[in-house]
Amino acid sequence: MFGTSGIRGPVGETVTADLALSVGRALGADTDRVVVGRDPRESGEFLTDALTAGLRERGTDVVDLGLAATPTVARAVAWEAADAGVSVTASHNPAEDNGIKLWQPSGQAFDGPMQDEMTERIRATTWELEGWDGLGGRERADAFERHVETLTERVDLADPLSVVVDLGNGAGGVTPAALSRLGCEVETLNAQPDGSFPGRPSEPTPEHCESLATLVREGDADLGIAHDGDADRMRAVAGDGTYLSGDALLAVLAGAAVESGDRVAVPVDTSLAVEDFLAERGASVERTPVGDVYVAAAVADGAAFGGEPSGAWIWGDETLCPDGPLAAVKVAELAAERPLADRASEVPEYPIRRGNFETDAKRRVMETVAARVQADYDDVSTMDGVRVGTDDGWFLVRASGTQPMVRVTAEARDDDRAESLFETARALVDAAVGEQ
């Protein structure tokens, strides 16, 4: 039921009002006060109503933020002295999807054991509902301004910038508000919240951010910022119009956040370039499964910073949720001190190969691959797929979470070795598929 980022799927199929009602009832079993917010998708209105009804039936009071960025919701759990938070969002997924993500008071998403407990409660469907005189209340609140104030207190822009912010018709209005208050000249793209995402698809990929890159370059802006639908992700465009890769941005943000001896939490598919860049600064990487909940857990356990190349960035001394607006003002602070393109130019680029293999037996394929590599290699991790490290590169074989396929990624410090590692991984998957 729960994936790496909560519950997500097509509205009317995977995600329904009935499911939202059940989640509310399950969460209400051990909470007295819960913060709820949603992204701009129209389906979020009735899903929020259903989830709120389930909470109130269990006697839980609801603080309804209405339309709000996911990091605003996550932060508001502590601000409102609540026991949990709920974001009704499908984040960067397409308009036809929606979802539900649960938050702890620390700002960390519900982890695996907590999600398992919620799943058991939902499937049990045995609810002890309150009578008419024991129902929870529902109050409206607005955490937008507090989020803006929090961000402006965290950074200092001695030389304010010209910034273009592409909100992708999402809920990330905190970002232009905070940057404007910091003295920046701000221009927005796709700023009207609209859950059909008419301006561009929700995920801020290089292809989807071409208009942003052009406007930054042609308009002589210093920086471009892009968010997804709920603004937990942030991607950046340098002043020369270059869209920074996720690995380059991860290296830049992590490099500014760490000191010698620190470690940085990154998912298993992160480039060697990040590891090499941080090693030059005396820091190391700690690899986690893919998903911000795992990165956040490593940060909570002492990592100085955590990030995913997909655009989720976590500063543990601020919050354990991926906060796109926080990342936006942090990267603006860095760009004000030194152009972002100059910083990114110091991050090495290594060749990487990717491929997909269709199979209806992906679980058995993964088991076969894991058994073979563990017999042949010393550096093998099975925390999320099968990752094999070598002296000069790595490859990752990982089952898709949503499609009948296995994905292969390989990287090395030169082209020939990257190709060799990819072919090795591909041969392993081909053989495993053929045996099913």
Instruction: Indicate which residues carry an active-site annotation.
Output: 91
Residue with tokens 């937008």: 144
Q: Tell me the residue type at 241.
A: G
What 3-state DSSP class applies to 165? strand
Tokens of 130: 């309150």
Tokens of 57: 């039936």
Q: What is the DSSP string of 277-338?
A: HHHTTT-EEEEE-SSHHHHHHHHHTT-SEEEETTTEEE-TTT-SS--HHHHHHHHHHHHHHS
CB 72, CB 147: distance < 8 Å: yes
Bridge partners of residue 133, in order along the sequence? none
Q: Rounded CA gap, 107 and 109, in Å?
A: 7
CB-CB neighbours of 129 under 10 Å: 13
Structural element, H or E, at residue 77: helix 70-79
Name which of 229, 242, 245, 257 is nearest 327 in CA terms. Answer: 257
Q: Rounded CA gap, 25 and 51, in Å?
A: 8
Residue with tokens 């940057």: 179
Q: Rounded CA gap, 244 and 208, in Å?
A: 13
Q: Tell me the residue type at 95.
A: A
Enter the DSSP assignment of 137. Answer: P
Numbers of helices and strands, H then E, in the chain: 14, 19
Q: What is the DSSP string of 39-54?
A: -S-THHHHHHHHHHHH
Strand order of the β-sheet with 352-358 is 352-358, 405-412, 393-399, 386-390, 380-381
Tokens of 318: 């601020």
Q: Rounded CA gap, 27 and 50, in Å?
A: 13
Residues 6+ apart with CB under 8 A from 408: 353, 354, 355, 356, 357, 395, 396, 397, 422, 425, 426, 429
Structural element, H or E, at residue 366: helix 362-376
